[in-house]
Amino acid sequence: MNLVAKEYVAARFDSDGVLILSEFAGAADELKQAVIVNPHDIGALKDSIERAIEMPRRERSTRMRALRKRVRDNDVARWSRSFLEALDRHAPRNVQLDPSATDPADRHREAQTDNMSIFDQDAQSARAAEDTREARDD
């Protein structure tokens, strides 16, 4: 749902429209100019829809411009760059990263040692479930 909300904002070429977003969606933390609602509160959801319908064009436009700027400025390139920079900051001291590499991803690929690993929770969970099934079958 996070990408759907961002796609809606990105697709709005006329700076109009209102994004109504569940407070439980991860995008709600980032897209604060949306109308945020608890989808389990039917009365509040109804009020939010009415508010969006009756919202003055100027407010809709102001909100949508701010949302579009946020989506444009926080794209996947920025996210990946900040993620890799955080990895650099927290890399074990015995990992020698190539300081001449301009792209953080290149610095990780050029690591001198291979003792740094990233834990893949989904893969680990799948292997654990498989091990459990095999143990039950025995």
* Residue-by-residue pLDDT tens, the chain, 138 positions: 578 999 999 998 888 999 999 999 999 999 999 999 999 999 999 999 999 999 999 999 999 999 999 999 988 888 888 888 888 888 776 666 556 665 655 555 555 444 454 555 555 555 666 666 666 666
Please answer whether residues 30 and 1 qualify as being in contact, where contact means their C-beta atoms are separated by less than 8 angstroms: no
Tokens of 109: 């690929």
Strands (E), the chain: 20-22, 35-37
pTM, to two decimals: 0.60
CA dist 98 and 79 (Å) reads 21
Kindly tell me the burial class for residue 63, based on how many C-beta atoms sit within 10 Å of its own C-beta (0-12, 13-18, 19 or more).
buried
* Nearest CA among 81, 89, 88 for reference residue 110: 88
